[in-house]
Amino acid sequence: MVTLVRSVLFLPASNARAIEKARGLDCDLAVLDLEDAVAPEMKAEARAAAVEAVRAGGFRGQVGVRVNALGTEWGEADLAALAGLRLDWIVAPKVEEAGTVDAYEARMGEAVRLFAMIETPRALLGLAQIAAAGGPLRALMLGVNDLAKALGTGPSPDREPMKPWLSAIVAAARAHDLLAIDGVFNRLDDAEGLAAECGQARLYGFDGKSLIHPNQIAAAHVAFSPGPAEVAEAQAIVAAFAAPEAAARGAIRVNGAMVERLHLAQAQALLDRAAVCG
């Protein structure tokens, strides 16, 4: 079954208006944020609001909570408050080693899945071990703002300094059958830049993108959903291999290109994703 996480919208758990609005949005995953979006003096209030919002439900898509990191003064209390709730995801910030995944597993419900945020140099060096941690881990998410700050990289319209890490995160995710989610795009009024960055993330193999405003949802859905031309090409490949004369062949010609059975598998996966995207 295809799990769609094209759009991961973060919103402050302390903002009741934002939460209510999020219930009517078509994002694939709404994440109630207890970490970066909440000031220290508001942590307890935000935690209580997140618990109430999850209990009340009403979200069109999946719902998750980004907790404060274990080791902070709020992390343990966040996880304890969420225990037993009907929650789809917990987003764990600044995961730097596989043992952190084990620590979350010991504190999470069995049905809840875990996002590990990769946003420090130490996380990059331990990426293979983190991705292999197993347990509740189902996705890796790039934390671009924290990572850029820690690395000391400068701004670039095509994210030149980040390209090695984009590839590394996707490779680690694919090696362990995890989702790979790209980081946020900060310029809220730059629709062209957002579309370009979503397209870049799709090209690199990401499954979706982290978002910080509802007006970014549509661009993410366009980028991470198969387009009409892709669907048509995939249908042609599937139909060609279904023909009797192709039954014993490993490679055939379709629309002027040689395609192998690995392309057939890719085409079928794309059609399955297109069906879920609608």
Among 81, 169, 185, residue whose Cα is nearest residue 118: 169
What single letter denotes the amino acid at residue 74?
A: W
Strands (E), the chain: 7-12, 29-33, 62-66, 89-92, 113-118, 137-142, 179-182, 208-211, 251-254, 257-260
Contact present, 9 and 211 (Cβ < 8 Å):
yes
Distance separating alpha carbons of residues 188 and 216, to the nearest angstrom: 8
Among 231, 239, 180, residue whose Cα is nearest residue 210: 180
Contact present, 123 and 130 (Cβ < 8 Å):
yes
Both tokens assigned to 95: 């995961």
249 carries a ligand binding annotation: no
253 carries a ligand binding annotation: no
DSSP run (H or E) holding 47: helix 43-56
66 carries a ligand binding annotation: yes
DSSP run (H or E) holding 252: strand 251-254
Distance separating alpha carbons of residues 33 and 210, to the nearest angstrom: 12
Q: What residues form the annotated binding site?
A: 66, 119, 146
Q: What residues form the annotated binding site for substrate?
A: 66, 119
Q: What residues form the annotated binding site for Mg(2+)?
A: 119, 146
